Amino acid sequence: MPAPTPIYIIKIGGQVIDDKDALSGFLHSFAKTQGNKILVHGGGKLATQMAAQLNIPQQMVNGRRITDADTLKLVTMVYAGGINKSIVAQLQSNNCDAIGCCGADGNIILAKKRTGADIDYGFAGDIVSVQSEKLGRWLQEGYTPVIAPITHDGNGQLLNTNADTLAQEIAVALSAHHPATLIYCFEKKGVLQKADDDDSVIPHINPASFETLKNNGIISGGMIPKLENALKAVSRGIEQVLIGQASEFHALINHKSGTRITHDT
C-alpha cells in the first residue's frame, strides 16, 4: 500500500481577500503548488460594507459577528457566492481544478446552532462533523476544494461558521488518514519576536517554547489565543501548523518563511 498522500489545508483571511492584487498573487502561487490542497477562505470587509449599504445593523462581540437572519442571508451571498466563485474562477484560469462549496454541499460539514453561550450569536454554527472521505475522494479525483465558512444543520438551516475553526476541523478530520498541514495565511510574516519588526519571525514553536515565550512577554495579546489554537491543532493529530504571509506562500510551504508549530521539539 502506498504511503498516504500529504494534504495541505490553507486558510486565507480577510486582508488578502480585500486586496485584489494580493489575492491574485496568492492564488497564482497556490495554484502552482503541487499536491493535495484545500483552500478555506474568510469573508473580508465586503459583507460589512454591504450590510451598511443594505441597512442591516452589524453587532460584533469579541471580534465575532452576531449573525441575525438578514446577516446570515448576506454572508451566505457574499462568502459562498461572490468571494467563493471569484476565487474558483481565478484558480481555474491558473489551471487549478477548483470546486467551490460550503458545508451544506455534499453535506461535507455539519454544524449545530450555537446555544447556551452567554451571548446569543444568532445563526452561528459550531462544527459537529466533517465528511473527510468525501473531501479525500474529491482530492483524489484532482479537484481542489475551495470552502466558504458557511455550514448547515442538516435540517435546512444554513449557519455562519468561523473560518479559522473550519480550517482546523477539516485538517483534524483529514489527519486521521493523511499527514495534514494546516496553514494560516495572514498579514504578518509569521509570529514575531518584536511586534513592529517584520524580520523577527520565530521560525519554530512547540508547547514548551510557547510557555517560555509567553512567560517572557514576547508573545502577547491576540497572538496568544491564535497560538493556543494552533497548539491544540497539533495535539489533535495535525502534523504541523504554518503561520505566515500569503505573499510568501511558496516559501512558507517550504519552511523558508513563517512560523512552524509542531507538537514535538
CB 4 within 8 A of CB 179: yes
Min dist CB 84 to its own copies, Å, is 7
Q: What is the strand order of the sheet 109-113 is part of?
A: 125-130, 109-113, 150-152, 158-160
* Near its own copies by CB under 8 A: residue from 7, 10, 22, 102: 102
| CA pair distance 232, 185, nearest whole angstrom | 18
* Near its own copies by CB under 8 A: residue from 21, 60, 116, 141: 141
Min dist CB 179 to its own copies, Å, is 26
Site string for its own copies, 22-51 (x = CB under 8 A): ----------------------------x-
What Cα–Cα distance (Å) separates residue 229 from each residue in 158, 164, 199, 257? 25, 9, 24, 20
Residue 213: its H or E element: helix 207-215
| CA pair distance 184, 41, nearest whole angstrom | 10
Decide whether 152 or 189 has the Cβ nearer to its own copies.
Answer: 152
User: What part of residues 58-97 is at the interface with its own copies (CB under 8 A)?
Assistant: 73, 76-82, 84-86, 88-90, 92-93, 97
User: What part of residues 105-134 is at the interface with its own copies (CB under 8 A)?
Assistant: 105-107
| CA pair distance 210, 225, nearest whole angstrom | 12
Q: Which residues bind its own copies (CB under 8 A)?
A: 50, 53-54, 73, 76-82, 84-86, 88-90, 92-93, 97-102, 104-107, 137, 141, 143, 150, 152, 154-158
